[in-house]
A and B are shown apart, each in its own frame.
Chain A
């Protein structure tokens, strides 16, 4: 069973649909017991970082997420929440990843960074069978910095973490659930970890 953490944010349906297409069993839940006992945990979402953190706190989920030992995958705002802090709303985040989340500083490029961009410097079994330079789908204005935990890089004006891993925690700034067959492959890899 895969727990998709429900903290009253959009986009849960998209992730659930993608899991459904892969034939995976999942439950959208905010129940701490269900989350703790799940084989895999997904933290998806769209929205504003400080509001999203507030919603996790209200549901008592921050400590629950920190204590998880099974594979966890944060997607989009989900990976940002797993970082140390975000410039968006000056949010103090969960702090699994030491990365900071920063707004794109570019005057020449359009913000949000929206559409298909390529991922490079792929590491980790999350990208088994994925070619360097594969395209994935993004919609965001903030992104995690690059550090030793970065397992994929995308460049939009500057390089940022397309994906991060520390121990059992994984995160992708892009949307695997909207990234065609490449995204399905990455989700499948996560389910097989």
Chain B
């Protein structure tokens, strides 16, 4: 049976992991490769590395880092952050990334999804969507939630799929960082409407939240950052608990 995936997300700045990490045995918590290996050993099903460097130098460091990650990590990994052209995507593929995520650049230039998908395959392109609810309508935001666009969640997700997206990574900006859980009804509607997998992101504070989005929310995977980084919910514990609830996970 296909397992629901648990995906830790690591923010990278100038080649180093950003958030404080609560792994006791790990000496160099700033090293994204060491941390990724640790997560893989803990049972993470995939990893997402997001480059939040602002500088050109930082971007170059990130590409070098992707090569090191590919050489050392034995599970699939996705990279994202600032991918604005097919050339950016191609460089990361060559460096060894299994998938890339596109977000703001795809909203501004939807052809980017089609181009990456037709050149490298749908399995390589994950479309990340950030949205917030305004007067009952889920509106797409870009640039980390700072800019509100006219696009609406469901029509944009459908367009992304039609253009060749392999997966949708949806974050509710109303829930992200709150640790109050996910908007499960929205996820369920999204997942049932689409024929590609949906990854839930932003809002998890408890095991039950994750269980809910994987069952009621019909999500195929759950992505989180701080609950894993700070050791609030260790991945082995999370998977054992999900297994007890009869949610299929890889143990």
Chains A and B are bound partners? yes
Residue ranges of A at the interface with B (Cβ–Cβ < 8 Å): 10, 13-14, 17-18, 20-21, 46-47, 109-118, 135, 137, 139, 155-156, 175, 177-181, 183-184
Question: Which A-B residue pairs are the 10 nearest by beta carbons?
Answer: A135-B250, A116-B3, A116-B250, A139-B123, A178-B76, A117-B2, A17-B71, A13-B96, A180-B74, A180-B75
Q: Which residues of B contact A110 (CB under 8 A)?
A: 194-197, 220
Contact A113–B2 (Cβ < 8 Å): yes
Of B5, B72, B121, B122, which one neighbours A115 at CB under 8 angstroms? B5
Of A113, A116, A181, which one neighbours B74 at CB under 8 angstroms? A181
Contact A112–B72 (Cβ < 8 Å): no
Q: Which residues of B contact A180 (CB under 8 A)?
A: 40, 74-75
Q: A117-B1, A155-B1 are in contact. Are A137 and B220 (CB under 8 A)?
A: no
User: Cα distance A21–B68 when bound, in Å?
Assistant: 12
Of A112, A116, A183, which one neighbours B122 at CB under 8 angstroms? A112
Q: A113-B2, A135-B3 are in contact. Are A17 and B96 (CB under 8 A)?
A: yes
Q: With A116-B2, A135-B250 given, name 7 new contacts (CB 8 A).
A: A18-B74, A46-B121, A46-B123, A112-B122, A113-B2, A178-B76, A181-B74
Interface size counted on chain B using CB atoms at 8 A:
29
User: Cα distance A92–B26 when bound, in Å?
Assistant: 51
Contact A21–B2 (Cβ < 8 Å): no
Contact B5–A116 (Cβ < 8 Å): yes
Asked if B130 is at the interface (CB within 8 A of a chain A CB), the reply is no
Complex: chain B residue closest to A111, CB-CB = B195
Complex: chain A residue closest to B74, CB-CB = A180
Asked if B133 is at the interface (CB within 8 A of a chain A CB), the reply is no
Residue ranges of B at the interface with A (Cβ–Cβ < 8 Å): 1-3, 5, 40, 45, 70-72, 74-76, 93-94, 96, 98, 120-123, 166-167, 194-197, 220-221, 250
Q: Which residues of A contact B166 (CB under 8 A)?
A: 112, 114
- B123, B166, B220 — most chain A CB neighbours (10 Å): B123
Of B2, B74, B96, B197, which one neighbours A183 at CB under 8 angstroms? B74
Complex: chain A residue closest to B77, CB-CB = A178
User: Cα distance A172–B176 when bound, in Å?
Assistant: 39
Listed by A's residue number, 26 A-B pairs whose Cβ atoms lie within 8 Å are: A10-B93, A13-B94, A13-B96, A14-B70, A14-B98, A110-B195, A112-B123, A113-B2, A114-B123, A114-B166, A114-B167, A115-B2, A115-B221, A116-B2, A116-B3, A116-B250, A117-B3, A118-B3, A135-B3, A135-B250, A137-B75, A139-B123, A177-B74, A180-B40, A181-B74, A184-B74
Complex: chain A residue closest to B94, CB-CB = A13
Q: A115-B45, A156-B2 are in contact. Are A21 and B195 (CB under 8 A)?
A: no
Contact A137–B76 (Cβ < 8 Å): yes
